[in-house]
Amino acid sequence: MADMLLELKDVRVRFDTIDGTVNAVNGVGLHVAAGETVAIVGESGSGKSQLMMATMGLLASNGHASGTADYRGTNLLNISKGELNTIRGRKITMIFQEPMTSLDPLFTIGAQLIEPIMHHQKIGAAEAHVRAVAMLKLVSIPEPERRMGSYPHEMSGGQRQRVMIAMALANDPDLLIADEPTTALDVTIQAEILELMASLQKRLGMGMIFITHDLNIVRRIAHRVYVMRQGEVVEEGETKALFANPKHEYTRALLASEPTGRKAPVSPNAPKILDGTDLRVNFKIGGGFLSGEPIVLRAVDRVSLTLRRGQTVGIVGESGSGKSTIARALLRLIPSEGAISFEGRSIAGLDRHQMRPLRRQLQIVLQDPFGSLSPRMTAGHIVTEGLLVHEPSISRQQRDRRAAQALEEVQLDPNLRNRYPHEFSGGQRQRIAIARAIILKPKVVVLDEPTSALDRQVQKQIVDLLRDLQTANDLSYLFISHDLAVVRAMADHIIVMKDGRMVEQGSPDEVLDNPREDYTRKLMKAAFAE
Amino acid sequence: MTDLATNAGSTVGRSLWADAWSRLKANRAAYWSAIYIVIMAVACIAGPWFTPHDFTTIYQDYTRVPPSLEAYPRPEMIDQAVKDAVKRSRVELASWEDRGDKVSIVVTSAKPIDPRMTRYIDRSSVFENAEVTETSADGLKLTISADVEREHFYFGTDTIGRDLLTRTLIAGRVSLAIGLLAGLVAVAIGVLYGATAGFVGGKTDEVMMRIVDILYSLPFIFFVIMLVVFFGRNFVLMFLAVGAVLWLDMARIVRGQALSIRRQEYVQAAEALGVSRGGILLRHVVPNLLGPVVIYMTLLVPQVIILESFLSYLGLGVQEPMSSWGVLISQGAKNIPGANWLLFFPSFFLTTTLFALNFIGDGLRDALDPKDR
């Protein structure tokens, strides 16, 4: 390569914890040249983020890095913080995953942009302002002059990520490190940001390191790929060659981890199990006896949907489209207007007490495997909590046995039932959450983005598990996701939602292959673009 | 199946509490502080039974003696005591001699001496078992031998001659008890009140928190003086007054926590399971609240001890002969020029205890909240 920017040799990162030393990165070498995009791929815990954190001197206080990170003749790993600060933020910059928390909510976008420009380029405020506006224009933010005075909360997630990119690029860096910059964004916005980054990289001729777990992104953006696993690079190469001919079995497993298969549609005469007609959900914001009139937000606007026995209805849409809200309304977890019936019986008017016996038939699995399990209860207690409510007569031993059975059903070692949630991986936690739902032998399970927080490989395992459970227990699923690949593999009927309304519905082939609506087309393009 | 392989092995889980405990043990300052507090508590509870003096005993000969590792009386004090005792019995002192544990005193008089005069010598708190060992033929000269009672005052004595060591330990009992009990009262009320307000939410929450606001606006001293006026000075009242004021902070902290826990996905999941509100409160909200509560509790105890000291300093607290560190410090402060040990020892005990408690609180915060470090 013509102009080598950063060359890592035998970089090791370890963390000293109370339980001993944890080796996060074990001797990794990689290099980036100017004008090149390099992707580091791996599942969570593979050390890909810690490697870059070490390079930037951003390790947690108990972390230690060794080896060399050669940036134009300087070893970044053993220079002082002062020297490092002349390079990072100026020559090497970084974008993080979470656009919601990477910007300081107390300062305007303009102030946050101008400050580093003034600091690194030693120019006055007026000049820096001009430069900042130019940067916002570069990342295609509309009305950049006016947006300088906006606060982060006034912008959408995608716009915030654009601002982050503008900040990273403001000092003409040689190298941009992007740590999962699009993971927290909706697919359509993800596509826009990727396009922007690719075009900026071409135009500015800088090097880029892209950390991700999403192979679609790698295929779209990277020249070369490093595949990391358990702190080591297991394979590297040109993107095209690597994708066409993966050598290491782990790379092959990663590439094969796209969920596959289709679900056979149920007969149109199958009995209706859950039916919502003309559902509306309004949220009131503010109000109360000391504040003024509340603002009414229409989260779901006249949506009807029917779930038949053994069917999986997939609900897709961006965040804020009301897809989770409608599922919660159908389970009567939030108040709504409109008719809801369960097995032909109207449940819209039932109060909390009357709903309780029905709860065991209507279960939900939530998105966040870290937040949905109480951190102070053991896996066994979490799984059997529903039994305390619905079968209060059974003894402690019986409950324990049922917990073991349920964990076995979701392919977890039942001996782990005395452990606490934080001792499990994300995939294992999601299995516990699923076990908690199916232990009650429900008829309907709402799956609210059950795979979104998981790595691709684990995602596939969970999808397979959910399918097996469906056939074994004759379950009906309401599957909510923004991930069209997973929805296509799971659902036999798809509903597309936008701004609280249903814009399209039909079988997966109809909706995903021949979308009628612009919006669906846009979603499709973003999700499956090569 | 990488995620299945990672956690094989032992089946016993390590709870967050166990995790926190191991992190706390790794924190030197907190660990030694905890040991210090335990030693302090044991010393205050058991100590007064082992010290050589009762906390109410008054030694008239030893008022305001400075702390010393050596036993009292000192030689010059024996001289004074001999002279005083002999003077009280209206005879002349010829000579006296120190023989280790005993003194032998020779007295003379113009008239024959009644041997019963030894009781005058016994009356001094320095001597006991005085007896006549030798009487001269004319009865005008007596040799008396008496045991010297050796007393240790490691912390010295106060203005009326009571042992400061015993009194400091007794005072520690009161201070620690008030700290712990009033702390518990505040935590119990605060957690229940705050958790209910935060979890039920809506109008109930608004009303409950406005009540807290109103109570906040009552001046604390005014409140305590009012209680004292109506109910008289009373030890139990102290707990009530302090506890009744300090639960307000607790309630606010707990309410905030409960509000955020209510929105956690595991609470939603429990609702979807059909768990009743009480069940959610007990199984999900309260256990997850305990972290901040424990932390706040360790910071609350020193606060209570200081408040009690303050009230006692003003004369609204515990009554003589009972004492608390605050009372002792207030007495000590009046005697700084002549007897600075009266201030030094109680304040040393109080401040080191508060130090240790604050270190523990800090360590607990770090241990229970490792992400924020």
Name the range with the highest mean pLDDT among A95-104, A169-178, B108-117.
A169-178
What distance, in Å, lies between the first and last C-alpha atoms of chain A? 26
Select from B266, B272, B275 the Cβ nearest to the Cβ of A373.
Answer: B266
Quick check: B268 contacting A, CB < 8 Å?
A: yes
- State the pLDDT at residue B373: 38
Please give the pLDDT value at position B13: 62
| pLDDT cut 90: percent of chain A above it | 5
Interface membership of A390 toward B (CB under 8 Å): yes
Paired strand residues for A272: A308
- Mean of all residue pLDDT scores within chain A: 84
Interchain CB contact of B54 with A (< 8 Å): no
Helix (H) / strand (E) containing A250: helix A249-255
Residues of A in contact with B266 (CB under 8 A): 371-374
* pLDDT value of position A288: 58
- Portion of chain B with pLDDT greater than 90, in percent: 6
**In chain B, what is the straight-line distance between the N-terminal and C-terminal CA atoms, in Å?**
34
3-state DSSP assignment of residue B129: strand
CB A47 within 8 Å of CB A231: yes
Q: Which residue of B has its CA nearest to A440?
A: B273
* pLDDT above 90 (res A451): no
Residue B38 has pLDDT above 90, yes or no: yes
Mean pLDDT taken over chain B: 80
Give the best-scoring range by mean pLDDT among A316-320, A500-504, B315-319.
A500-504
Report pLDDT for B129: 76
- Give mean pLDDT, residues B167-171: 88
What is the pairing mode between strands A337-342 and A272-285?
antiparallel
Tokens standing for B157?
């004595």
Of A383, A405, A423, A415, give the one whose Cα is nearest residue B11.
Answer: A415
pLDDT confidence of B369, banded at 50, 70, 90? low
Greater confidence (B88 vs A410) lies with A410
Residues of A in contact with B283 (CB under 8 A): 374, 377, 385
Which has the higher per-residue pLDDT, A98 or A14? A14
Q: Residue A455 above 80 pLDDT? A: no
| CA pair distance A521, A78, nearest whole angstrom | 51
Q: Quick one: average pLDDT of B273-296? A: 83
pLDDT at position A530 is 46
pLDDT at B206 over 80: yes
Are the beta carbons of A199 and A180 closer than 8 angstroms?
no
CB A205 within 8 A of CB A191: no
Which pLDDT score, from 0 to 100, does residue B1 have? 35
The nearest CA of chain A is from the CA of B36 a distance in Å of 23
Q: Which residue has the higher pLDDT, B202 or A227?
A: A227
A50: closest CA among A176, A206, A211?
A: A211
B229 CB near a chain A CB, below 8 Å? no
Give the residue from A19, A429, A375, A16 showing the smallest Cα distance to B17.
A375
pLDDT band at B3 (very low <50, low <70, confident <90, very high): very low
Burial of A71 per CB tally in 10 Å (0-12, 13-18, 19+): buried
Q: What distance in Å separates residue B309's CA from the closest CA in chain A?
A: 38
Cα-only R_g, chain A: 25
* DSSP states of B238-256: HHHHHHHHHHHHHHHHHHH
* pLDDT for res B39: 93
**Which residues on adjacent β-strands are paired with residue A316?**
A481, A496
Confidence of residue B352 (pLDDT cuts 50, 70, 90): very high
Considering only CB atoms, B269 lies closest to which of A355, A366, A461, namely A366
User: CA-to-CA distance for A345 and A274, rounded, in angstroms?
Assistant: 9
What interface predicted TM-score (ipTM) does this complex get?
A: 0.74
Does A425 sit within 8 Å of B283, measured CB to CB?
A: no
Q: Which of A288, A290, A359 sits opposite B272 (nearest CB)?
A: A359
In the predicted structure, residue B6 carries a pLDDT above the cut 60: no
User: A274 vs A99, A307, A313, A511, B48, CA distance in Å?
Assistant: 38, 5, 11, 22, 74
Q: In this predicted structure, what is the pLDDT of residue B42?
A: 93
Kindly state the tokens that stand for A441: 């032998």
- CA dihedral (A366, A369, A370, A372) positive or negative: positive
Task: Please identify among residues 349-368 of chain A the ones whose CB lies closer than 8 Å to any CB of chain B.
Answer: 355-360, 362-364, 366-368
Measured between CA atoms, how close is A5 to chain B, in angstroms? 34
Predicted local confidence at residue B12, as pLDDT:
61
Chain B CB contacts of A417 below 8 Å = 11
Q: Is the pLDDT of residue B312 over 80?
A: no
Cβ–Cβ under 8 Å, residues B350 and B325: yes
**Is B276 at the interface with chain A, CB within 8 A?**
yes
pLDDT tens track for A197-252: 888 888 888 899 998 887 878 888 889 999 988 888 888 889 888 888 888 888 88
**Is pLDDT at B127 greater than 80 in this prediction?**
no
Nearest to B206 among A289, A331, A436 (CB): A289
Strand order, beta sheet including A272-285: A295-308, A272-285, A337-342, A345-346
pLDDT score of A373 more than 50: yes
Contact B274/A357, CB-based, under 8 Å?
A: yes
Q: For residue A224, what pLDDT is reported? A: 92
Residues in A 312-351 with any Cβ partner in B closer than 8 A: 331, 333
β A20-33/A4-17 pair status: antiparallel
How close A146 gets to chain B, by Cα (Å)? 35
Range from A191-205, A483-497, B288-302, B306-320 carrying the lowest mean pLDDT: B306-320
Residue B18 touches partner A, C-beta closer than 8 Å: no
Q: Which of B14, B273, B281 to mutate to test the interface with A (most CBs of A within 10 A)?
A: B273
B11 pLDDT tier (thresholds 50, 70, 90): low
Hey, are the CB atoms on A379 and B13 less than 8 Å from each other? yes
Q: Is pLDDT above 50 for B350?
A: yes
- Average pLDDT of the residues in A416-429: 82
User: Among A428, A49, A16, A452, which residue's Cα sits nearest to residue A228?
Assistant: A49
Q: How confident is the model at residue A188 (pLDDT cuts 50, 70, 90)?
A: confident
What number is the average pLDDT over the span A365-376?
83
Which of A101, A374, A454 is the best substitution to test chain B (most B C-beta atoms within 10 A)?
A: A374
CB contacts under 8 A, A 404-433 vs B, are: 411-413, 415-420, 422-428, 433
Pick the residue from chain A with its C-alpha nearest to B288.
A376
Query: B275 vs A367: CB contact, 8 Å cut-off?
Result: no
A18–B276 CB contact, under 8 Å: no
Burial category of A146 from C-beta neighbours within 10 Å (exposed 0-12, middle 13-18, buried 19 and up): exposed
Subunit contact B1:A386, Cβ cutoff 8 A: no
pLDDT of residue A490 exceeding 70, the answer is yes
Mean pLDDT score, A151-172: 85
Q: A436-448 pLDDT, tens per residue? A: 988 988 999 999 8
